Amino acid sequence: MKKVLKIVAIVVFIALVVGVIGYFGKKNSQDNQVYEITQPFMGNLEVKAVATGEVKPVETIEIKPNISGVIKSINVSEGQYVEKGQLIAEIKVVPNVASLNQAAQNIRSAEIQVNLQQKDYNRANTLYKQGVIPKSDYDNALAMYQSAQQTLRAAQTDYKVAQTGVAPGLEAYATTRITATTSGVVLDIPVEVGNMVQEINNFSTGTTIATMADITKMIFQGKVDESEVGKLKEGMKINVSIGAIPNKTFTAILDFISPQGVANNGVVQFDIKAPIQLDSQNFIRAGYSANAEVITSGVQNVLLVKSAHIRYDENQKPYVDVLKSGSGQDAVYEKKYLTLGITDGVNVEVKKGITKDDKIKIWNTDLEKPNGPGPH
Digit-coded pLDDT (tens) for 316-354: 999 988 888 888 778 888 888 999 988 888 899 999 889
**Burial class of residue 30 (count of CB atoms within 10 Å of its CB; 0-12, 13-18, 19+):** exposed
Among the residues of the chain, which ranges form H helices?
2-32, 97-129, 135-164, 226-229, 365-368
Q: Which residue has the higher pLDDT, 152 or 158?
A: 152
The bridge status of strand 289-306 relative to strand 87-92 is: unpaired
User: CA nearest 47: which of 255, 353, 250, 341?
Assistant: 341
214 has pLDDT over 80: yes
Q: What confidence category does residue 187 fall into, taking pLDDT thresholds of 50, 70 and 90?
A: very high
Q: Which long-range contacts (CB under 8 A, 24 or more apart) does 364-369 make?
A: 364/308, 364/309, 365/35, 365/36, 367/308, 368/308
The C-alpha torsion from 96 through 101 and 107 to 110, rounded to 10°, is -120
User: Do 38 and 362 meet the contact criterion of CB atoms below 8 Å apart?
Assistant: yes
For range 10-34, the mean pLDDT = 58
pTM over 0.75: no
Tens digit of pLDDT for each residue in 242-296? 988 888 899 999 999 999 999 988 889 999 999 999 888 888 888 899 999 888 8
User: Do 305 and 342 meet the contact criterion of CB atoms below 8 Å apart?
Assistant: no
DSSP 285: P
Euclidean distance between the first and the last CA atom of the chain, given in angstroms as a whole number: 60
Q: What confidence category does residue 8 fall into, taking pLDDT thresholds of 50, 70 and 90?
A: low
Q: What confidence category does residue 12 fall into, taking pLDDT thresholds of 50, 70 and 90?
A: low
C-alpha distances in angstroms, 240 versus 206, 230, 246, 247, 248?
Answer: 36, 20, 11, 11, 9
Look at the domain 97-164 and name its fold. Helix Hairpins (1.10.287)
pLDDT above 90 as % of the chain: 28
The per-residue pLDDT of the chain, averaged, comes to 83
Domain boundaries, the chain: 49-57+215-296, 62-93+170-212, 97-164
For residue 19, what are the contacts with CB-CB under 8 A and spacing of at least 6?
A: none
Q: What confidence category does residue 369 fall into, taking pLDDT thresholds of 50, 70 and 90?
A: very low
CA atoms within 13 A on the CB side of 235: 1
The bridge status of strand 184-188 relative to strand 311-312 is: unpaired
Tens digit of pLDDT for each residue in 35-87? 888 889 999 988 888 888 999 999 999 999 887 888 999 999 998 999 999 99
The whole-number pLDDT of residue 375 equals 38
Integer Cα distance of 255 and 354 in angstroms:
41
The whole-number pLDDT of residue 35 equals 80
Which CATH superfamily does the domain covering 49-57+215-296 fall into? Efflux pump adaptor protein, beta barrel domain (2.40.30.170)
pLDDT above 70 as % of the chain: 84
Integer Cα distance of 345 and 324 in angstroms:
28
Same fold, 49-57+215-296 and 62-93+170-212: no
Q: What confidence category does residue 115 fall into, taking pLDDT thresholds of 50, 70 and 90?
A: very high
376 has pLDDT over 50: no
Tens digit of pLDDT for each residue in 89-107? 998 877 666 777 888 888 8
CATH number of 62-93+170-212: 2.40.50.100
The bridge status of strand 218-225 relative to strand 360-361 is: unpaired
Q: What is the CA radius of gyration of the chain?
A: 44
The whole-number pLDDT of residue 172 equals 53
Highest mean pLDDT pick, 308-317, 322-331, 367-376: 308-317
User: Do 220 and 57 meet the contact criterion of CB atoms below 8 Å apart?
Assistant: no
Spell out a b/e string for 120-147, using b for 16 or more CB atoms within 10 Å of the CB, else e. ebeebeeebeeeebeeeebeebbebbee
Q: Which amino acid is at 203?
A: F
The whole-number pLDDT of residue 30 equals 47
Integer Cα distance of 333 and 330 in angstroms:
10
SS3 content of the chain, % helix, strand, coil (to 5): 30, 35, 35
